[in-house]
């Protein structure tokens, strides 16, 4: 079965009238599960498609996406070993990831 591109899903959800945010990996360093350019799309109901990392990092990105959908204010999120947040969300593998999250208007 072919995987549907997250940007195609975002376009479909937006055309259905759903508020949508797109998260994009913009930088990685060291051990990171997804490469730069990977996408995760999130709607206001909590549905999501794609991947920017794994496990708890994605949970944190989805949570931030709700605020971004509401406010319209884009944000860069960073998770890494030097960041206390990284341990809280389970990124203790020695890497760093930066994710740009924006509302699709």
Q: Residue 75 burial (CB < 10 Å; 0-12/13-18/19+)?
A: middle
Pair 25, 34: CB distance under 8 Å: yes
| pLDDT score for 1 | 45
What contacts 33, CB < 8 A, 6 or more positions away?
51, 53, 54
Q: Tell me: the pLDDT tens digits for 49-68?
A: 999 987 778 899 999 999 99
Q: Where are the domains of the chain?
A: 6-104
Ranges of residues in the chain whose predicted pLDDT is under 70? 1-2, 81-94
The distance from CA 36 to its chain's CA centroid, rounded to whole angstroms, is: 12
């Amino acid at each position: 079965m072919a995987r549907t591109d997250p940007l195609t899903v975002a376009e479909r959800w937006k055309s259905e009238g759903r508020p949508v945010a797109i998260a994009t990996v913009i930088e990685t360093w060291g051990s990171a599960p997804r490469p730069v350019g990977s996408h995760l799309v999130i709607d206001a109901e909590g549905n999501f498609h794609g991947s920017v990392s794994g496990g708890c990092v994605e949970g944190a990105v989805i949570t931030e996406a709700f605020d971004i959908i509401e406010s319209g204010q884009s944000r860069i999120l960073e998770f890494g070993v030097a960041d206390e947040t990284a341990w809280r969300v389970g990124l203790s593998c020695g890497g760093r990831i930066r994710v740009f999250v924006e509302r699709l208007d």
